[in-house]
Structure 1
Amino acid sequence: MKNIIAVLAISSLLAVSACKKTENNNTVSGNTEAVEAERFTVDSVKINDSIKINDSLSVKYSSRMLVFPTLKDKTLLDSIYFTEKNISDFSKNGLRNYLQKSKNEYFNQIRKDSKDWGSDLTFAQEWYEDRGMNIKSNSNDYLHIEYVWGSYSGGAHDNYGFSERVFDLKNKKRVVLKDITAMPVNKLEALLMKNINRINSGTTDNKGEVNNSEMLLVDKIPATENFYFDNKNLYFHYSPYEIAAFAAGDITIPVSWGDLKGTLNPEFMKRMKIN
């Protein structure tokens, strides 16, 4: 009888131990799922629509916006959606509703304006507004987003442009030039003027050497905050008309890390693994 009681006692102890082990495993699994849920994720919303204003004019609206479900910092999100106005709901549904509202405002404005000049159109035209956000890279907790826009509302040609922004996901802020380099602005602008002639655009001088500086509309190229970077260079992106004529298109000028040697932020160098 004593042996039977001992066996039952051991069996009960093993059963309790197994239950606790299962509970612990479930707890660990739950934590793992929570960690997985907080990993950086990206979604998007898009809207396309068109209307016909009259026999001579049709209008198209298109917009694509990225959604970041795991980003919660409002200051960071405000900076990411800097091209928009008064966004308070950064969820997928909230951004979809915002795009719908923007589309309606655009169509209503064209309807209103066309009452004054609609009869002046002498041939059929299609006007449009197109905006988008694209992730160009996400490395070392630096998120690079390119914002693009294009539009046509009559005239000789349409218009388009780019904005580049890099966000420091680790410190929840937009990256600015002083986070990268301490080089004085005038020296950086001198590098930009020199490096524009490293871009092969087809513009050459009478010796056959690249001479892109001849097509500039400015005396000096500004070191703007419209930049991005990779493991080789810092790049400054300029939209049409910003520094050159529309025919030149958009221009991207590289500045190598070697050009900036001795002025780079040590923390930035460490994260980007720049030697």
Structure 2
Amino acid sequence: MYAKQIKPEDQLNYFQEYKVVKVPVKGSERALEGTMTFSAFLPSDPSVAKMLTRRITKDQFDDFGNYAKVKIKDFEQSYKREVQEQFSGEDAEYSSIMDHVHNYNLYPVINTGQYLIMAYSTFTYTGGAHGMNADKYYNYSKKKKKWLQLEDVFDLSQKAAIEKVLDQELRRQYSIPPGIKLSEAKDSDFIADKIAVTDNFTLSKFNITFHYHPYELTPYAMGSFELSVPYENFKGLFKKGFHY
């Protein structure tokens, strides 16, 4: 029996880069700390990793490692400057809110013969009651050799029909009658009146799942929100040539 050949697009390489910036504060016994961490599983195929990095950085970088180094360098300079500008001896007791944290994690959600789906999870705390987190998803078609965007999956000229499907499925799952704003339904967990299609999605064997950040549909306390919808519900709404 021969071992299954592992293709380059199935392999991932681990990368990590981090920096702890300590800034002394006059009148305080402890230095403030700002932390930035990048942790990533990157496709070993250079072209696939390059395309993903360009998607994440909005075409500003080709190399994720270089992107992380530049972000960390900028953070180190801006964090020191911000602490020094905002705090002096008389307000040192409040300085702990300046212990900033920035975490960036890139990892695989699905890695099959058809798709590599990556999640880019970020968490930022820059003072206040709580930090903010967000998860952005990227879908790579190994057959088409490209990172898919929403327009590669759906016929966006039918956006209203797509959103009607989302609305119907959300109401079915959460027992919300038609004609009532989501935020006004009895015991509603929603802060939005309606659901809109998002380009933050993941593909699986039977469903397409749409992902929403805190405050887009639901309050912060509920975290991120996701809605999974069977492919068959979107019959006639997919872009020509898309097969699930």
Q: TM-score, normalised by structure 2?
A: 0.76
Report which of the two structures shows the higher radius of gyration computed on alpha carbons.
1
Q: In the alignment, is the contact (CA less than 8 A) between 2:114 and 2:143 conserved in 1?
A: yes
Partner of residue 77 from structure 2, selected from 91, 108, 122: 108
Matches of residues 173-252 of structure 1 in structure 2 within 5 Å? 173-182=146-155, 184-197=158-171, 214-252=188-226
Question: 1:122 is matched with which residue?
Answer: 93
Q: In the alignment, is the contact (CA less than 8 A) between 2:113 and 2:142 conserved in 1?
A: no
Unpaired segments ≥5 residues, structure 2: 25-29, 178-184
Unpaired segments ≥5 residues, structure 1: 1-35, 206-210
Q: Tell whether 2:131 aligns with 1:158.
A: yes
Q: In the alignment, is the contact (CA less than 8 A) between 2:8 and 2:44 conserved in 1?
A: no
Q: In the alignment, is the contact (CA less than 8 A) between 2:149 and 2:199 conserved in 1?
A: yes
Higher helix residue share: 1
Backbone CA RMSD of aligned residues = 3.0
Partner AA of 2:215 in structure 1? Y
- Identity score, percent: 19
- Quick one: distance in 1 between partners of 2:143 and 2:217? 34
Number of matched residues?
A: 221
Name the CA shift for 1:39/1:197 in 2 (closer, same or farther; >3 Å): same
Q: Tell whether 2:18 aligns with 1:48.
A: yes
Name the CA shift for 1:121/1:251 in 2 (closer, same or farther; >3 Å): farther
Write out per-residue CA displacement over residues 154-196 of structure 1, whole angstroms, 9 at most, x where no aligned residue. Answer: 0111101011111223333221334334372112212222323
Question: 1:136 is matched with which residue?
Answer: 109
Write out per-residue CA displacement over residues 52-110 of structure 1, whole angstroms, 9 at most, x where no aligned residue. Answer: 2233621111111333332426xx7244443336324x3xxxx4454233212112101
- Quick one: distance in 2 between partners of 1:83 and 1:212? 39
Q: In the alignment, is the contact (CA less than 8 A) between 1:144 and 1:165 conserved in 2?
A: yes
- Quick one: distance in 1 between partners of 2:111 and 2:6? 18
Q: TM-score, normalised by structure 1?
A: 0.69
Question: SS where residue 225 of structure 1 aligns?
Answer: coil
Name the CA shift for 1:212/1:51 in 2 (closer, same or farther; >3 Å): farther
- Quick one: distance in 2 between partners of 1:188 and 1:162? 22
